[in-house]
């Protein structure tokens, strides 16, 4: 599976799982940055990967610039949607020594590579689906039983999904990523 940017141009810096495994044995281990939510990261992640959710990436830009001068940065997510945004953001902000793990964490797990597993949680995509489904059911129920205007709720959810399909960005997902449960908890030092 080839990672591609939103404009569908192949990424020159896509890193295969085999290349990542080989680079760790030669001593040129890249810095692994997982851009999924903390819950998704806690559920399963590559050993030595660091979790910086996409919504928090801007806070670590200076640090990542410094790290990229020492070692390459490899970005990881589940299905490659958020990682494309992270890649574009980092490269647009002067971090050229950056790539994407081809296949994401899903491909890594499916190929039997080592992972650290934690407690199962609901992914950001799962949260979006659960809330959208609930809004549709409630909107239809209230539209039939209370007032016909409640039928606008499922229509708006549908319009949101159409927008997400065409733009490859989900407003509900972006809003959910701002919730404390989907952010890096503050360190005890701060």
Residue 18: per-residue pLDDT: 44
CATH number for the domain spanning 19: value is 3.40.250.10
Residue-number span of the structural domain to which 167 is assigned = 124-182
Is 189 within a domain?
Answer: no
Is 190 within a domain?
Answer: no
Residue 20: per-residue pLDDT: 52
Is 2 within a domain?
Answer: no
Is residue 23 domain-shared with residue 108, that is, in the same domain?
A: yes
Is residue 26 domain-shared with residue 80, that is, in the same domain?
A: yes
Which of the four pLDDT bands, split at 50, 70 and 90, describes residue 174? confident
Is residue 82 domain-shared with residue 160, that is, in the same domain?
A: no
Q: What is the mean pLDDT of the chain?
A: 80
Is residue 97 domain-shared with residue 146, that is, in the same domain?
A: no
Is residue 53 domain-shared with residue 132, that is, in the same domain?
A: no
Please spell the DSSP secondary structure of 132-148, one letter per residue: HHHHHHHHHHHHHHT-G
Is residue 107 domain-shared with residue 134, that is, in the same domain?
A: no
Predicted TM-score (pTM) of the model is: 0.61
Is 29 within a domain?
Answer: yes
Is residue 102 domain-shared with residue 19, that is, in the same domain?
A: yes
Which of the four pLDDT bands, split at 50, 70 and 90, describes residue 2? very low
Residue 32: per-residue pLDDT: 94
Total count of domains within the chain:
2
- Of how many residues is the chain composed? 190
Which of the four pLDDT bands, split at 50, 70 and 90, describes residue 73? very high
Which of the four pLDDT bands, split at 50, 70 and 90, describes residue 179? confident
Give residue-wise pLDDT tens across range 92-148. 998 888 899 988 888 898 988 989 888 777 777 788 888 899 999 999 999 999 999
């Amino acid at each position: 599976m080839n990672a591609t940017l939103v404009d569908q141009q192949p990424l020159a810096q896509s890193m295969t799982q085999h290349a990542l495994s080989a680079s760790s044995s030669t001593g040129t281990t890249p810095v692994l940055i997982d851009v999924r939510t903390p819950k998704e990261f806690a559920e399963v992640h590559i050993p030595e990967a660091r979790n910086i959710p996409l919504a928090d990436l801007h806070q670590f830009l200076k640090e990542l610039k410094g790290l990229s001068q020492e070692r390459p940065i490899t970005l990881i997510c589940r299905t490659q949607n958020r990682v494309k945004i992270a890649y574009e953001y980092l490269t647009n902000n002067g971090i050229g020594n950056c790539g994407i793990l081809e296949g994401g964490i899903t491909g890594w797990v499916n190929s039997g590579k080592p992972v650290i597993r934690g407690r199962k949680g609901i992914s950001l995509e799962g949260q979006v689906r659960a809330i959208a489904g609930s809004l549709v059911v409630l909107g239809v129920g209230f539209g039939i039983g209370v007032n016909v205007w409640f039928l606008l709720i499922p229509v708006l959810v549908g319009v949101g999904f159409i927008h997400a399909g065409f733009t490859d960005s989900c407003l509900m997902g972006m809003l959910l990523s701002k919730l404390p449960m989907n952010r890096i908890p503050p360190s005890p030092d701060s």
